[in-house]
Amino acid sequence: MRPTHLEVNLPQLKQNLENIRAHVAPAKVLVVLKANAYGHGVDGVAPFIAPFADYIGVAIVEEGIHLRKMGIKTPILVMGGTLREQLPDFFEYDLTLAASSLDLLTAADQLAESTRKRIKTHLKIDTGMERVGVREYEAEALIERSLVCSQFVEIEGIFTHFANSEVMSLPGSEQSPETRPRNDLVEASLQLERFQEVLSLYEKRSEPHPALRHTANSGATLLMPESYFDMVRPGVLFYGVYPARDIERTIEVKPALTWRSRVIFSKVTRLGRSVSYGSLWQAEAETRIATVPCGYADGYFRRMTNQTRVIINGKSYPQVGRICMDQFMVNAGKDEVKVGDAVTIMGDGISPEELADWAGTNEYEVMTNISARVPRVFLGEVQ
Ligand SMILES: *Cc1c(COP(=O)(O)O)cnc(C)c1O
């Protein structure tokens, strides 16, 4: 086992899911397993968590195929965009299509009818991301088309995605549109209204709406109960991380990741000697420099140079000198730090938020960038 590895606490993930479920019931929970389960390692997370999830969400069809090849039987929604030529994979692997355009829905229907194979789809409505999906003001044609699909196409769901659901309504959000911050829940509420407009098209035609209406990502799961409908789609929250700092902690979740390593070299350096590429840090006195075998190729961002800290033997030490591709150095001062000593890079009090701040990014990017070179060790795994 490589000394640098990621410990993933599977029972903690299950606990997070249970706490989310208790909060949103009776709504169902789609667990988002895209991007290698937000870096946690989908090969360990998926088999453990799938039995407890109502639905699984992935971004791309390849992620869905990977899960099916692992033997996962839970329904899987491919939430992102799909090319026509990828449609056969949805039939072969029993994946749910996000019908994000009239053309795509039509192509899926034609393929279903000609091959006499079944496919499930969720209509994807774009209410304010301008990314993938049919805008609310052009949704009528999509709905009309969905109502005349062949018996092989099941219109199981309809959904949209928020652009700004994770920021608390700030005081003064009743200000005029020109002066109020754009990132409060006013934008998300507007998106919700647009989604409701689309749903009302079903009422107008006296047609039942699809059984699974869903909109809520982590931010909306925390802040907008009116957005739950039939199912929620928490990603980062399931992994124990709040999507923003200022949100009241109404759902109890904890991170499941601990990034560990061991000291690979330890030396006492002299006053004035500089450490690592670019000589960005010099010893101002005789001091112990410990080398940790983890670098930016592992996802420990180079731009965090001279800003981070690690825990060795229960004590916090600053990272010094340019972070290298495969290693970084730590200033252990006068302490006796030995080769082989355990190092915590994230966890044990170092939060994903702290790393995100050091790197000038968000927790999502920190977690999803931990590279494939870092082995994942799954705690509490069913054997
Ligand atoms: C990634 C994603 C989510 C989860 O987002 P979080 O902010 O991590 O909760 C939900 N829905 C869709 C469509 C997504 O792409």
The pair of structure tokens assigned to 219 is 């931010």
Residue 369, domain member (yes or no):
no
Residue 4 lies in a domain: no
Same domain, residue pair 199 and 262: no
Tell me the average pLDDT across 5-34: 98
The mean of the pLDDT values for the chain is 95
Residue 212: which CATH number? 3.20.20.10
Residue 169 has pLDDT above 70, yes or no: no
Three-state secondary structure call for residue 231 = strand
Q: What is the pTM of this model?
A: 0.94
Query: How far is the C-alpha of 354 from the C-alpha of 241, rounded, in Å?
Result: 12
pLDDT confidence bin for 16, thresholds 50/70/90 = very high
DSSP secondary structure letter of residue 369: T
Q: How far is the CA of 301 from the centre of ligand 1 (A)?
A: 23
Same-domain status, 209 and 262 = no
For residue 321, give the nearest of 273, 264, 278 by alpha carbon: 278
Same domain for 226 and 262? no
In a domain, 362, yes or no: no
Q: Is residue 226 part of a domain?
A: yes
- Mean pLDDT score, 350-354: 97
Q: What is the pLDDT of residues 102-138, one digit of tens each?
A: 999 999 999 999 999 999 999 999 999 999 999 999 9
Tokens of 21: 């479920």
Torsion over CA of 187, 191, 194 and 200, rounded to 10 degrees? -130
- Return the higher-pLDDT residue of 8 and 382: 8
Is 277 among the residues known to form the active site? yes
In a domain, 131, yes or no: yes
Q: Check whether residue 32 and residue 172 sit in a common domain.
A: yes
pLDDT tens string 198-241: 999 999 999 999 999 999 999 999 999 999 999 999 999 999 99
CB distance 36 to 42 below 8 Å: yes
Q: Give the number of domains in the chain.
A: 2
Look at the block and give the residue holding tokens 């965009």.
Answer: 81
Radius of gyration (Cα) for the chain, nearest Å?
24
**What's the chain's length in residues?**
383
Do 195 and 188 meet the contact criterion of CB atoms below 8 Å apart?
A: no
Active-site residue, 202 included: no
Domain containing 66: what range? Answer: 10-232
Q: What is the pLDDT of residue 184?
A: 74
**How many angstroms does the Cα of residue 293 sit away from the middle of ligand 1?**
33
DSSP type of residue 166: S
- What is the CA 359 to chain-centroid distance, rounded? 18
We report the CATH number of the domain holding residue 326 as 2.40.37.10
pLDDT score of 172 more than 60: no
For residues 167 and 296, membership in a common domain is answered with no
Whether residue 220 sits in one domain with residue 174 = yes
Euclidean distance between CA atoms 158 and 379, whole angstroms = 36
| Whether the predicted pLDDT of 300 surpasses 90 | yes
Distance CA 284, CA 70 (A): 54
Do 186 and 283 lie in a common domain? no
Name the residue with the closest Cα to ligand 1, atom 4. 235
Atom of ligand 1 minimally distant from the CA of 159: 13
pLDDT band for position 171 (cuts 50, 70, 90): very low
The residues that bridge with 286 in the sheet, in sequence order, are: none
Q: What are the contacts of 90-96 at 24+ separation with CB within 8 A?
A: 90/61, 90/119, 91/115, 91/117, 91/118, 91/119, 93/64, 93/65, 93/68, 94/68, 95/61, 95/64, 95/65, 95/68, 96/120, 96/121, 96/122, 96/156, 96/157
Asked if the structure places residue 361 within a domain, the reply is no
CB-ligand 1 contact for 161 (6 Å cutoff): yes
In a domain, 127, yes or no: yes
143: Cβ–Cβ under 8 A, 6 or more apart, which residues?
123, 198, 201, 202
Mean pLDDT of 308-335: 98
My answer on whether 80 and 166 are in the same domain is yes
Q: How far is the CA of 150 from the centre of ligand 1 (A)?
A: 30
Q: Are residues 281 and 140 in the same domain?
A: no
pLDDT in tens, 42-73: 999 999 999 999 999 999 999 999 999 999 99
Residue in 34, 242, 300, 317 annotated catalytic: 34
Q: What is the pLDDT of residue 104?
A: 98
* 35 shares a domain with 98: yes
Q: Tell me whether residue 76 is in a domain.
A: yes
Same domain, 187 and 285: no
Q: Judge if 15 and 132 occupy the same domain.
A: yes
122 Cβ inside 6 Å of ligand 1: no
3-state secondary structure of 291: strand
Reduced to 3 states (helix: H, G, I; strand: E, B; else coil), residue 329 is strand
